[in-house]
Structure 1
Amino acid sequence: MRIITLIAAVTAWAAAAWAEPTAQIRKQTVHIDVISQSEYRMTEHTEVVIYKETMSQLANFYTTLDKSEKIERFACVVEGVNSKFNKKYKAGDLKYSEYSGDMVTDLKSVELSIDLPLYPIVVTTDVTYHRTDNTISYPPFLPIPAYDTEVKEATYMIDFPASMNLRYVAMDTDMKPVESTTPKGKKRWTFTLANQGEIVYEEFSKPLLRQIPKVLFVPERLDYYGTQGSMKSWEEFGLWINSLCQGMDVLPDDARAKVHELTDTCATDWDKVRVLYNLLRRHTRYVSIQLGIGGYRPLAAEFVWRKGFGDCKALTNLMKAMLAEAGVASTYTLISTKYDRLIDLPNFQQLNHVILKVPTSKGVIWMECTNPEIPLGYTHDDIAGHEAVEISDKGGHRVILPDYADTLNLRTTKVKTVFRPDGTGSINIIDSYSCHRYTRLYGWLKKSEKDRINAAARAYSLPFGNIKRAVARMGYRKGEGGRGLLPLISASVEADQVQIATSTRARLFASINPLHGNFVPSHIARDRKHEIYIDQGFKNVEIIEMTLPEGCMLEATPKPVSISNEIGSFTSTVSVEGRTVKQTNTLILHRGTYPAAKAQLLDDLDSAADTVYKGKVILKRP
C-alpha cells in the first residue's frame, strides 16, 4: 500500500542526551496555497543551527515526488556561526533517482547530501513544491525533526477556498489554528510552535513519532486518478477503498481448477485456508507496487496469479479470491504497522499495510499474505493489538486486532555448566524465543557458522575462541486454544575451557550465571522526563545448572531474591542436589504506559537482577 510519509524529516536514530540541544530550528515557515481540490503549491523556509556532528543529517535534503508534483525552486546556504565559511547550493545540485530496489513505482527520490566542515553551522533551505493533480492529503505540520532539537519558531499556514471542506487533527499537541481570511478571500489557518524544548531520548519511552506535536490535513472529498470518494468518516472512506477493489478478484480458469483440486477434499474450513496459504507461499513473492492509483488499488488477481508477484494489496486480494472460490469468506483489511490506534479523522498517513481477516471454525485468522515465513494463525508483532479498518460493500469498519498475553512472549534459557578444579568449565546453552520475541534470533538462521559464533560471543559474554558450536533452528508451538502456531526459534551454543571462576589458594569463586557478564543496570529513573512506555511485555525464564568439581566443598550459593511491583517481577531461587547447584530466574515485564515518577519501579527490578547476576558460588578446595 502506498505510504504517504507522515514524517519524512524525522530521523530514526536515537541521539544521545546532551546538556544542551545539539540542534535548533531557528526558524521554519511553511505556506500551503490550495488552488483547487487537486492542486496546491507549498513554499518552505527552514533555518537550522547544528551544534554537534551527531546531528549533521539535519543538513541534508531529501524528498520523493510522483508524476503530479515537482520542485519549482530550491536554494540552500550553509554558513559558519563563528567563521566566514559560506557555501551555496541551487536546484541543479539536487540529485534525482528513480531507482527503487524491489519496488514498482512512479516515485523518484530527490536528495542533496551536505558535508559539514565545522560546528556550529547554520543551514538555510528554501524550496517550493507544486502539485497539480491527484491530491488526497496535504503536507502535515511537523516542526520537530529529531531528538535533541529545540524549536525557536515554527509557523505553518494553509490557505484554501472558502467553499472547500478541509479538516485537520492535532496529534500529541493541543495546538489550535488562528483563523483568518486572505486578501483573495480564501480561508487561512495558521499554526505556531515557539520556544519548544528538545525531546531527549530515553530508554523505555515512546518512539519519537509518537511524541512530537503534529497536525494532519485532509480534504473531505476525494478526486484521485478519475475516482471520487469521501473522507467524511471511516465508513465512507471504506466505501471508496471497496470501489477500488471491485472487479479485481476474478481468477483465471487454471487458478480456479487448482483451488478446487486442493480444497474439495478438505474436511474443514481451517484445512482449506491452510492449503491455500501454502499455495500462496509457494506461488508468489512480494514486490511493492506504487504506480499511480496502484498505490491504493490492488492488482487484478489474474495478473498476480500469472506473474507470481504483488504487494500487500495484490497478494491479499489474490488470497481473498482463492478463498472465495473455495467457499471461505474473508475481509480485505487496512492497518498500520506503526500506530496501534487510529484517529477519528480518516487519513492515509496512518495506514500503510493490508491484511486479510479470515473467520474459521477455530477462530479468526488475521492473515499476513506478504511474508511466507509467518506461520498461519500467528498475528505478528507489527499488527497484533493494532486498530484496523475492515473493508466491505458497507464501507469501513474499525476493529482492534487481538494480541497475545505478555507471558506468551517467552524466552526460555537452559544452561548446563561443568565446573573443573582449575576454574574453567564447559558450557552448553539452549536459548528459545517464541511468539513476538522470535525475531531476536531470526537473523541467526541465515548467518554463516563464523557469524553465529560471533553473535553468540556477544550475546552470552563468551570468548569467541572457546565457542565450539552455535546453531539455530526454527520451530513452532501451538497457539492459544490450539488455534494456529506460534513461531519459536532456538539457539544451541557449546563452549569449552571457559574461565568461570577466580581463585585463591583456598577457595574458588564461580559465577553461576554466565549469561550476563556485561549486564549494567540502566538507572532510568535518574532525571527521568518521559513516561515509561513498554510496548511489548514478556517473560524470561533462566534455568542454570552447575556441576561442581569432585573434592571441593560448597561453602556458599547466591541468596534467593523476590520482588514484584506494578511494572513486573523478578524472582531467583537456588537449590543444591548432590554436586549440582541449580538457579532459576524468572523476569516478567508488563506492557503498558506508566508515569515517569514510577521509573524507580523498573530500576528496582534491574537492581534485583543485577544482584543475582553478580552472585557467586564459593567452593573450598580440598
Structure 2
Amino acid sequence: MRVAIMLMMLWMVIRDGYAQQGYAVSAIPAMLKSRADAVVRQETIVADMLAATKVRYQVKQAVTVFNRSGENKARLVIYYDKNVAIKRIAGKVFDADGLQVGKFTQRDFTDESAVSSFSLYEDTRVKHFLPAMTSYPYTVEYEYELELKQNLIIPAWRPDAYRDVAVVHSQYTFICDPADDVRVKATNYKGDPEVSNADGRKALTWTAIHIPAQRYEPFSPDPETYQTMVKVAPVNFSYYKHNGHYSDWGELGKWTYDALLADGLELPERTVQEVKQLVTGLASDKEKAKVLYTYMQRKTRYISVQIGIGGFKPMAASDVDRLGYGDCKGLVNYMQALLNVAGIPSYYCVVEAGATKRDLQPDFAGMEQGNHVILCLPFERDTTWLECTDQRIPFGFLGSFTDDRTVWACTPEGGLLLRTPHYAVTASTQRRTAELALDVKGTVSGRVETVFTAGQYDNHLEIAESNGSEQVKLLKDAYDIDQISFSQLKYQKRDEAVPTLVEAFQVALAAYVPENNGQVFLIPNAFNRRSTIPAVKNRVLPLYINRGYTDEDSISYALPEGYHLSQPVEEEIDSAFGYYYSVIKQEGNKISYYRKFTLNEGTFPAEQYADFCSFINRVSSLDNYKAVLAKR
C-alpha cells in the first residue's frame, strides 16, 4: 500500500512538473487571459527561400482555447494547389493542466475542393481540422511544412491578426542567400529584425511577445493600420514557370501586362466588325465607350473563375466573347479589347474592393494586394471608371465597393498608381419626401418618394433590380417597420452626370400611431431613424468614419378633424462629426416634419469617441421622438 501511494505521489509530481513545462493554462500571464477567447502560447514560422521555385515554409503553433468563440483560432486551415505542396502535418491536444490527451496527423484532416459557391472554376483545394473537444480550456499544437514552388507571394507575418486572441510569443524568420535582393516592409513593429547567419545563409527574425487580446471598438480603422505585419518580397521571382523581377509598382505592372494580359486581347473578326458598326457616326470617344459598355453588359454575366497562372491571368477576350461570361479579370479584359477596336485606350486596374476603403500600399508593391479588377478610361480632363461585373450600374459609376481608394493600373509602359473617384458628403445624398395621412384608427398611409444620388445611389439598387415578392421582401427589410405594406412600386434610373435612382411607392403603416387616455403618439420620423452606438471606456483605437453622406427627409401628415400638435419642436446640432437639424410643426390640419443629417467622414483621435457617441445617440433620441397629438 505504501509503495502504491509513493508511486502515485511520484506520478503526480512528474505530471505537475510536465504540466508546468508544457501548456498548463495556469502558466498564462493573467494580463493575457483578460478578454481573450484564445491565447497563442507559441508560434514559430520559418520561410526558407532555397530557390525561386522552392520556398520551405514551416509552422509550429500552440493555441489555448477558452470557449467556443475561440475555436476558429484553433482550427487549422491550409489551402494548396499545384504551386503549394503539403509535406507534413501533425499535432497534439492538451488539457487544462498541459497533459497530452490526443494527437492527430494529416489523415485526420478533411480535404475538399475550395470552389466557392459563386465560382465556376477554381483549382485550389483545402485541408482543415478542429479537435473534437467537449470541455474548455484546451490547447492544440500544430506543426506543418509546405513547399511553395514560387516566391512571388510569400505569406506575411501577422502575429496579432485576430481580435479577442492574445499572444504569448510569436516569431517569424526569413532565410535566403546573402546575394538575394529582398524587399521588406514592417508595419507597427518596434525596432529592427535580428540578423544572423545560418550555415552561410542570411536569416532575418522578428519577434512579438505578450500582446493582449484586442477588444472590439466600433468605428475602428482598417486593422492593417494598427496591427503588426511583416511582408517580404524578393526582387527576382518565379511564378507558374514565369520569371520576372520588380522593385516597385511600375516594374510589377510592366511584368503583369507582358506576362498575363497582352496575349489575351484578340477578338473574333465578326465581333470586331460589330464593334466598328456600333461606334460608326459617334462623335466622341466617351460616347463610343458608353455604347460599348452597354453592349458588354447585355452580352456577358459575372462568374468567378480562379484558374490560370494562380488566378491572376484573365480569360482570353475571345473566350468571354464566345461563352458570354467571365470573372472581374475576364470581363475587364473583354471590355478593354472592345475599346481597343474603337481605338480608345484603357487601363486594367487592380483594386482592394470592399465596403471599407483600403488603399494599395504605394511604397511596397506586391502581387498579393488587391482582390478585384476595374477599368480606367483616361480621357483628357475626364477620367472615367467602369465596373464590368455588374449589369445594373450606369456607365462611369463606381459604388461603395471600389470608390475613393488607390488602385494599380497595368499598362504596356508599366504600372501606375491612380485613385478612384470620391463622392463628397454633399453629393452623396438621400432625399425623401412623403405626403401621408393619419386616420382615426392610427393607420398612416400615403405616397413616398426617395432620390438616391452619387455615393448613396446603390443603397436600394438591389431592390430596384428585383421584382415580385422578392422585391417586396427586400423593401420590408430595408424599411423595417411593423405592419408596413407597399403598393404601386416604381423605380427609375436617371441617366445623368451624377447617377440617380428614384424610388416611389404607396405605403400603409397599420396601427402606427397608438392612442392612450385621449392622447395620440406619433413618431414623425417614420423611415430614417439612426441607431444608438455603445459607449467605450478607455478607447485605444482612433475613431474612423469610413464614408460621409447627407440625408434629408420632408414628411407631411394630414390629421383627422380635431387633432392638434401639443408642442412644436426644433433642434439643431453642429459637430465636428456632422450636422443635424429637425423641426416638427403644425400648419392648419397638417403636421410637417423636416430632418437633415450629415455625417462627416474622416479619422479622429480616440479621445473624441465619447463626443461622437454623444452626438450620434442624441441624433438617435431625436429621431425616435414621439410627438403628442391631443384631441379637441
TM-score, length basis structure 2: 0.87
Q: How many residues align?
A: 594
Equivalent residue in structure 1 for 2:603, among 588, 593, 604:
593
- Distance, in Å, in 2 between the alignment partners of 1:460 and 1:303 is 43
How far has the Cα of 1:298 moved from its partner?
3.0
Q: CA RMSD in A?
A: 2.7
Residues 1:229 and 2:244 are matched in the alignment: yes
Given that 1:203 and 1:524 are in contact with CA atoms closer than 8 Å, whether structure 2 keeps it comes out as no
Deviation at 1:449, TM superposition (A): 5.6
Shift of 1:331: 2.1
Q: 2:296 aligns with which of 273, 280, 283?
A: 280
Q: Does 2:616 match 1:617?
A: no
CA deviations 1:69-95 (Å, max 9, x no partner) are 211111233333169783332101222
**Aligned CA distance change for structure 1 residues 83 and 347 (closer, same or farther; 3 Å):** closer
Amino acid in structure 2 at the alignment position of 1:61:
L
Match of 2:561 among 541, 550, 554: 550
Give, as a single letter, the amino acid of the residue that structure 2 aligns with 1:514.
Answer: A
Task: Tell me, yes or no, if the aligned pair for 2:301 and 2:389 is still in contact at 8 Å.
Answer: yes
Worse overlay, 331-340 or 237-246: 331-340
Q: How many percent of aligned residue pairs carry the same amino acid?
A: 24
**Cα shift at 1:259:** 0.6
The C-alpha deviation readout for 1:44-102, integer Å capped at 9, x for no partner, is 11111121212222222212112022111112333331697833321012222235142
**SS at 2:86's partner residue?**
strand
Equivalent in the alignment of 2:383: 364
Q: Structure 2: which amino acid aligns with 1:508?
A: V
Match of 2:425 in 1: 406
Name the CA distance, whole Å, in 1 between partners of 2:410 and 2:564: 70
Q: Is the 8 A contact 2:399 2:458 kept in 1?
A: no
1:580 pairs with 2:597: no
Find the residue that maps to 2:383 and give its secondary structure.
strand
Q: Secondary structure at the match of 1:581?
A: strand
Match of 1:181?
197
Unaligned runs of 5+ in 2: 1-32
Distance 1:317 1:575, change over 3 A: same
2:563 partner amino acid: C
Among residues 159, 177, 182, which one is paired with 1:166 in the alignment?
Answer: 182
Q: Which residue of 1 aligns with 2:256?
A: 241
**How does 1:124-203 map onto structure 2 within 5 Å?**
124-131=141-148, 133-174=149-190, 176-182=192-198, 184-203=199-218
Q: Distance in 1 between matches of 2:469 and 2:538?
A: 42
Give the letter for the 1:380 counterpart: G
Note closer, same or farther for the CA distance 1:413–1:375 as it changes in structure 2 (3 Å cut). same
Question: Which amino acid is the alignment partner of residue 358 of structure 1?
Answer: L
**Residue pair 2:62, 2:139 contacting (<8 A) in 1 also:** yes
**2:39/2:167 contact within 8 Å kept:** yes
In structure 1, the residue matched to 2:230 is 215
Are residues 1:514 and 2:526 paired? yes
Change (3 A) 1:83 1:335: closer
Conserved? CA contact 2:240–2:310, under 8 Å: no
Distance 1:322 1:453 in 2: 38
Query: Where do residues 473-488 of structure 1 align in structure 2 (5 Å cutoff)?
Result: 474-477=491-494, 482=497, 485-486=498-499, 488=501
Give the direction of change, closer, same or farther, for the CA distance of 1:467–1:509 in structure 2 (3 Å limit).
closer
Deviation string, structure 1 residues 130-157 (Cα, Å, up to 9, x no partner): 12x2321211101124211111110111
CA contact (8 A) 1:250 1:321 kept: yes
Report if aligned partners of 1:147, 1:208 keep a CA contact under 8 Å in 2.
no
- Residue 42 of structure 1 deviates from its aligned partner by 1.3
Query: Counterparts of 2:508 and 2:365 in 1: how far apart (Å)?
Result: 56
- Output the amino acid matched with 2:203: R
Q: Which residue of 1 aligns with 2:102?
A: 87
Task: Summarize the Cα distance change of 1:502–1:529 in structure 2 as closer, same or farther, 3 Å threshold.
Answer: farther
Whether the aligned pair in 1 keeps the contact of 2:183 and 2:247 (CA below 8 Å) is no
**Within 5 Å, which residues of 2 pair with 1:493-572?**
494-505=507-518, 507-515=519-527, 520-557=531-568, 559-572=569-582
- Determine helix, strand or coil for the equivalent of 1:139: coil
Pairing partner for 1:467 from 480, 484, 487: 484
For the 8 Å contact 1:566–1:601, the answer to whether it is kept is no
SS in 2 for 1:261: helix
**Closer, same or farther in 2 for the Cα pair 1:394/1:54, shift >3 Å?**
same
| CA separation of 1:322 and 1:467: change in aligned 2, threshold 3 A | same
1:57 aligns with 2:79: no
- The structure-2 alpha-carbon separation of the partners of 1:404 and 1:520, relative to structure 1 and needing over 3 Å to count, comes to closer
The answer to whether residue 221 in structure 2 is matched with residue 206 in structure 1 is yes
Query: Equivalent residue of 1:140, what SS?
Result: coil
Distance 1:127 1:201, change over 3 A: same
In 2, the alpha carbon distance for the partners of 1:601 and 1:573 equals 23
**Cα deviation per residue 1:137-188 (whole Å; 9 max; x = unaligned)?**
2111011242111111101111111111112101244453111111x11100
User: 1:400: Cα distance to partner?
Assistant: 1.8
The alignment partner of 1:55 has SS state of: helix
Amino acid at match of 1:504: N
**1:10 aligned partner:** none
